[in-house]
Amino acid sequence: MYLPSLGPVPFVSPLSKLAMLSYKFRFEESFLQEGKWINKIEVIPRRTDAALFRGYIYIVDDWWNIKAVDLEPDKRELYHFKYFRILQDYDFIKDSTWMLSREEFFYDTREGKMHILGNTMIIYSDYDLNPTFNKRFFHHELRTVTDTAAEVDSSYWKEIRPITLKDDEKEFIRRQDSIDAYHLTAEFMVKDDSIYNHHTIWDYLLNGFGWTNSFKKRTLYFDPLIQQMYIFGVGGYRHAPGGSITKELSKAYRVELDWLLNYGFNNNDLKGSLGIDVLYLPRKFGSIHADYKNAYTMLNEYESFEAIFSRGNYINEIGYSLGHDMEFINGLFIDFTVEYGEKKPITGIELTTWSDTLFGEFNEPQQFQAFEELLIDIKLRYTIGQQYMTEPYKKINLPSKWPTFTLRYKKGIPGFFGSIADYDFMELKFKDDIMVGTIGVSKVRAMAGGYLTSKNVQLTDYKYFRRSDMYIFSNPLKSFQLLRPGYSAISTDGPYFMVNYLHNFNGTLLNKIPLIKKTGLQLAGGAGILLMERDDFQHAEIFFGLEWPFRIRRQVMKMVMYYAVSYSNQSDIRGEFKIGFDFFNSWTNSWSY
């Protein structure tokens, strides 16, 4: 039973074929109900700290069908809930068929100082045991909320609700309806805006601050001071105030304008960027985006820590772009962007002496002739079996259990506006997360690409890969742990192939060891390969180690320690211990690795 919103590991069902390996069963009693004898069977997990249930199953004597279940998963295997309970009732329909008639969930969690107790009940009725469906009846929409759902009054729910509410439940609904109605009043909007518009010293320093107007559906936001400080900026300290203005139009339409001013004190140079995004077709994610930037941009935005802020990773760029992004059919996104830019090295500015000390040989700026280029960038991203929910005036895509493919085509167009770029680049990416029964999750990332034509490819358009840091474990699905070939960037203007694999056992193996299972440690391992035609580049590595998930308030995170070994014709490193951290995404119910 895979319950991804509850925990990382599929729970072993007490009714599965291999249930006897994980559970003990004890007959507790028999009782008569509606003329049938019901056997109450206790479900007892054979081990603790495992993805197992405990509770009761009720079996109809002689019929051998389930009448009811009352089960609780082990709370130590839950992400956020302190307690979770599942109740199910089954009723006789006809012949020998019993179907689910009622399902109820009880749950308990904490969010900060709040203690949240929840109860959800679902009633099933009017079964059709021999239905006929047309070919397109079943699709990937999991839930629909109509555009007029919020306008339905209490009389509608009173008519269709299949259960009689208790007095305290009626009072709760009355209060909620009153609260919802109050939230639409001008008095509440003024008070709610005043809370957002009231700022503390921590907002200015750490959180960001702004002003909102619910009547005009407009929000102004400014970055906090800590985000404005570019301590390792090009040419020394730079200060970069930025922010955004968001205007919500009717029915989920939105316009957002964002800006950034970036001033360097050492060279007295002002840089900046301005962007606008117009969401005009919410249910198709249809948007038009345009950007301008005059900035020091990175050649490789995912470099090693010791190289990412070095001057050798920066160029000076003035650029313009205009694009359109939309989901044309379910799961298929197409982003079409035209870019024009002037790019030049940063050799003409004064660099600070401390940057040479800090970054060493990485700090040498790139040497190349300034140039202009006009590019067309097209990205097609398709997720097989994309599941989604429909909300009023918008669509919400959900994480998919099927692979995602991304095809990118980028073309340099020479001759226009002084552009010298002349190439055709293509790249195919593959992404898949695979649940392997009860023994964990396998994650696969792969990409292959190259230049179909390459009459004029500048170093800013090369394909870059991440160098490894000493002792720091980087994301193994995007990088390698033992790839440090001197001080030169890892890049290519030719064909390349990269694949990364990671498997996390999610405690399946270690929780069977009595002392270790109390620690919550999890075993994981993986491998990676990078091949490039340029210089006959070959690198392969494997790694294995331990992960320790823990929680600070509502945030789940993990500390990891791995040992990696490699075979490479580019690096002399053959083995090294690594330490890293990762954070859990509660929306996608997944880690970044």
Q: What is the pLDDT of residues 388-401, one digit of tens each?
A: 999 888 899 988 88
Which segments within 164-313 are labelled E, that is strand? 209-213, 218-222, 229-230, 238-239, 242-248, 254-264, 269-281, 286-298
Give me the pLDDT at residue 464, please. 94
CA-to-CA distance for 278 and 255, rounded, in angstroms? Answer: 5
CA 456 to CA 422: how far, in whole Å?
A: 5
Q: Which residues of 560-586 are buried (b: 16+ CB within 10 A; e: fewer)?
A: bebebebebebbebeebebebebebee
Strand partners, 70: 56, 87
Q: Tell me the C-alpha distance between 185 and 179, whole Å.
A: 10
DSSP letter at 390 equals: E
pLDDT tens digits, 21-77: 889 999 999 999 888 899 999 999 988 777 889 999 999 998 889 999 999 998 877
Spatial distance between the Cα atoms of 436 and 505, rounded to a whole number of angstroms: 9
Report how far residue 147's alpha carbon sits from residue 136's, in angstroms, rounded to the nearest whole number.
23
CA distances from 567 to 426, 487, 540, 571 (A): 28, 19, 5, 8
Q: Where are the alpha helices (DSSP H) in 119-204?
A: 154-160, 167-183, 186-197, 201-202
- Round to whole Å and give the CA distance between 143 and 168: 29
List Cβ neighbours of 49 (8 Å cut-off, separation of 6 or more). 74, 76, 77, 507, 511, 517, 518
The pLDDT value given to residue 227: 93
Is there a contact between 559 and 583 (Cβ–Cβ < 8 Å)?
Answer: no
Locate the DSSP E strands across 15-125. Answer: 23-33, 36-45, 53-60, 66-73, 81-94, 97-111, 114-123
Q: Which residues in the chain land under pLDDT 50?
A: none
Is the Cβ–Cβ distance between 142 and 388 less than 8 Å? yes
Check: CB of residue 278 under 8 Å from CB of residue 324: no
Q: Which amino acid is at 331?
A: G
Closest CA to 240 of 253, 231, 251: 231
Rounded to whole angstroms, the Cα distance separating 297 from 309 reads 11
Give the angle subtended at the CA of 113 by the CAs of 111 and 117, to the nearest 5°. 55
Strand 394-397: give its sheet, edge to edge: 141-144, 388-391, 394-397
Per-residue DSSP letter, 351: P
Please classify residue 371 by burial: count the beta carbons closer than 10 Å to its beta carbon, then call 0-12 exposed, 13-18 middle and 19+ buried. Answer: middle
In sequence order, the β-bridge partners of residue 60 are: 38
Q: Where are the domains of the chain?
A: 1-134, 440-447+462-593
Quote the tokens at residue 15: 């009714």
Cα(7)–Cα(581) distance, rounded to whole angstroms?
19
CB atoms within 10 A of CB 200: 10
Dist. CA 106–CA 85, nearest whole Å: 5
